[in-house]
Amino acid sequence: MSARELVSDSAVVVGRELADGFEETCDVVVVGSGAGGAVMAAILAEAGQRVIVLEEGPYYTPDEYGAFQPTESFRRIWREAGMLAVFGVGQTPVIGLSAGRCVGGSSVLTGGVCFRIPSHVHDHWVRELGLVDLSEKSLERAYLDVERKIRVAEVPVSMRSASTDKFVRGAEHLGIPIYPTRRNMDGCVGNARCNFGCPSGAKMSVDVSYLPDALRRGARVISDALVERITIERGRATGVSGRVLNGPEGRPSLPFRIHSRTVVATCGTLHTPILLMRSGIGRATPALGRNVTLHPALRVSALFDEALSGWNGALQSVYTDHFADEGITLVGVYSPVNVLAATLPGVGPSHRRLIAEMPRHGVFGAMVHDEGGGAVRLGPGREPILSYRMAPRDLVSLRRSITILAEMAFAGGAREVYLPIFGLGPIKSVTEVRNLEVAPMDARRIECVAFHPLGSARMATDAKRGVVDPNGETYEVKDLYVADGSILPTSIGVNSQVPIMTMATRLAWRLAERLSQAGPKARAE
Amino acid sequence: MTQGGSRDSRDWGRRVLTPSRRRTIFALTEALFCTEDDRGLVPPSREFCDRVVEEFDLLIGAGSSDLRRGYRVLAFLIEWLPLFFIGALSRASRLPLARRLAFLDRLEHARIGLLATLLVAFKLPLTIIAFERPPELRLTGFDRETLASRRIVAGVGRT
């Protein structure tokens, strides 16, 4: 079987079609099927462990989600129908947050950009935080393994859209070096809607890369299975319990229970801490749910003289780390036209006039390598509440990034620039945008999004500063591991897909070794 | 196919808006997407507004109870803000179209960011829905049949 063979319908147990609850026994139960969970499942299954993966979201094949209109995609495979928001505290914008809720998790919704963790971040983790196992060198083998399996390759120049080209030319005029991104694609034709599911099935998300491997090696994936609690006996995790989402209108209904020797939580930065808190964990690890970083991001749109039809090309084909010292990474970006239309200023006729100019619009984005300031808390319902207080330095970087993008647009020949500031009309000169950068302004007028929540169950060398140890095992409960974005010790300043998968790979290798050393007698009966 | 696109057992099709909230969303849709001609503002067709409201209802319905509660509050606020914001002794949904548009315009330009965010909370999903399908999709200049159509590029394919 080839690496890109799709997960077959028969291989995934579709929870909402079950007539009864269930009780199962396995070696390892993995909660979540995204970038962390799929990697853990594949490697542990390969090592001979009996693995069950439980995914809260539904299962769709790539052919199915690739045919979704954007709103169908929101409704079916995005968490909170694409309207997940982070509550800004103080001078902080309200931040729209992207997260997947389906078999494959957020990897189905990424733009496919693949970065390794920058060297200076690795160095910080090793030297300042004492996490000696997280050096660039010690993760090299895991990086290579991930990049091979998800087919990471440089985006060719031919896949750049005319929209991206305009900003690249502007950057060249300003002396800003631009580099091609690397992405996990096979057969990308530049549909520019990766975030809503690839119509060409080109994105090597984990549902087409790692999960088929896991299934072939005997792992079982169950969709629509909401884990509510980790079972803990005498300080050890012994399984999970929850309910299948097949009640009226998808409400929790049939109960299930899994007995296992090891539990791996990979529900992501928002839901892993919630699952742990609901299971009574957190008293001895005060960092649980805290220190969340987001990489706050924005995009600037610019009107050029000629038609660009920016939807023809790879969604994200170039980047620059030229402003890394200021905590800024710039990345080329585009989105479906109706999504871009929604971000243009105006209401009624004035808004419609701008939408009619859409073919002449170019777009480019920026994200900030933030200090953190986010917290995940239990909400009144099933979903967590995420708040975020933006550090003053990060707000400065965010506003600075707007100026840089506008300057690139003007240098590339833009006639007008539309900034991500609510109620602001077209900007017609560099002077205007520079003045705006230093003018007093309510930060909540900045339109801000985030795609990489990290750090709510961070790895550290002791329980006072972190939730998991360098092996990914929680300090409070033995045999309970975390292997998703929540364990990253700090913000990384780049897209988090490959870093999460690489960390999960390293943890899975170690766990496989540990479980095999413990021997079959220790297996859950 | 239905208005909301293809349906199967995995799409619960849950609708959550009460009749009064549907009226609020309908009124917002009319104002957000009206056009103008020599005689003044022209509201979009009733069919268009009905489609947008229906799909918005499905979208909110796909979220959690927290999201639905949140939108109930936001819809209440935007419905009653004209009284405090433009001094109109009327709910937003009962304002004449021109006044409603002026209200939304004032909201978007509010110096207090949270007020502008209130508008964006509706403008964003409603615009995405409104311009997702023809004929409105065509107004964006997008030249593929649908937003899920593949781009055809000669010589580019899977390895």
**pLDDT tens sequence across A30-74:** 999 999 999 999 999 999 999 999 999 999 999 999 999 999 999
Higher confidence at residue A230 or residue B3?
A230
Q: Enter the tokens of residue B134.
A: 């023809």
Look up the domain containing B84 and give its range.
Answer: 19-139
Q: With 50 as the cut, is the pLDDT of residue B19 above it?
A: yes
Query: What is the reported pLDDT for B86?
Result: 84
Please report, rounded to a whole number, the percentage of residues in chain A having pLDDT higher than 90: 93
The length of chain B in residues reads 159
Query: What is the reported pLDDT for A9?
Result: 45
Q: Cβ separation of B111 and A382 shorter than 8 Å?
A: no
d(CA B91, CA B102): 14
- Give which of B6, B52, B131, B149 to mutate to test A binding, by max A Cβ within 10 Å: B131
A382 CB neighbours in chain B (<8 A) are 64-66
Q: With 70 as the cut, is the pLDDT of residue B81 above it?
A: yes
Which residue carries 């402003």 as its tokens? Answer: A323
Q: State the pLDDT confidence band at A439, using cuts at 50, 70 and 90.
A: very high
Q: Domains (ranges, CATH) in chain A?
A: 12-59+105-110+115-149+205-288+457-522 (3.50.50.60), 154-195+293-450 (3.30.560.10)
Predicted complex: ipTM over 0.90? yes
A and B: number of Cβ contacts within 8 A:
209
Q: With 90 as the cut, is the pLDDT of residue A280 above it?
A: yes
Q: State the pLDDT confidence band at B7, using cuts at 50, 70 and 90.
A: low
Number of domains in chain B: 1
Query: What is the reported pLDDT for A2?
Result: 34
- Give which of B10, B39, B106 to mutate to test A binding, by max A Cβ within 10 Å: B10
d(CA A369, CA A393): 10
User: What is the mean pLDDT of the segment spanning A365-374?
Assistant: 95
CB nearest A423 (choices: B110, B130, B151) = B110
The radius of gyration of chain A from alpha carbons, rounded to an integer in Å, stands at: 22
Residue B101 lies in a domain: yes
Residue B81 lies in a domain: yes
d(CA A271, CA A404): 35
Q: State the pLDDT confidence band at A199, using cuts at 50, 70 and 90.
A: very high
Residue B153 lies in a domain: no
Q: With 90 as the cut, is the pLDDT of residue B3 above it?
A: no
Higher confidence at residue A522 or residue A329?
A329
Residue B5 lies in a domain: no
d(CA A321, CA A366): 10
Query: What is the reported pLDDT for A6?
Result: 34
Task: Give the range among A212-216, A262-266, A358-362, A380-384 with minimum mean pLDDT.
Answer: A380-384
Task: For residue range A232-258, list pLDDT tens digits in order.
Answer: 999 999 999 999 998 888 888 999 999
Query: What is the reported pLDDT for B84?
Result: 83
CB nearest A442 (choices: B63, B112, B125) = B112
Q: State the pLDDT confidence band at B9, using cuts at 50, 70 and 90.
A: low
| Residue of chain A whose Cα is closest to the Cα of B146 | A69
Alpha helices, DSSP H only, in A329-456? 337-343, 349-355, 392-411, 430-438
Map residue B16 onto helix, strand or coil. coil
Helix-helix angle A136-149:A119-127, to 10 degrees: 140
Query: What is the reported pLDDT for B2?
Result: 35
B14 to chain A, closest Cα gap in Å: 6
Query: What is the reported pLDDT for A119?
Result: 97
Half-sphere exposure of A193 (CA within 13 A, CB side): 30
B149 CB neighbours in chain A (<8 A) are 199
- Give which of B151, B152, B159 to mutate to test A binding, by max A Cβ within 10 Å: B151
Task: For residue range A388-437, list pLDDT tens digits in order.
Answer: 999 999 999 999 999 999 999 999 999 999 999 999 999 999 999 999 99
With beta carbons less than 8 A apart as the criterion, state whether A419 and A427 touch. Answer: yes
Residue B69 lies in a domain: yes
User: What secondary structure letter does DSSP report for A116?
Assistant: P
Q: Cβ separation of A60 and B10 shorter than 8 Å?
A: yes
| Residue of chain A whose Cα is closest to the Cα of B37 | A349
Please report, rounded to a whole number, the percentage of residues in chain A having pLDDT higher than 70: 97
A252 to chain B, closest Cα gap in Å: 12
B124 CB neighbours in chain A (<8 A) are 342-343
Query: What is the reported pLDDT for A520?
Result: 62
Residue B133 lies in a domain: yes
Q: State the pLDDT confidence band at B5, using cuts at 50, 70 and 90.
A: very low
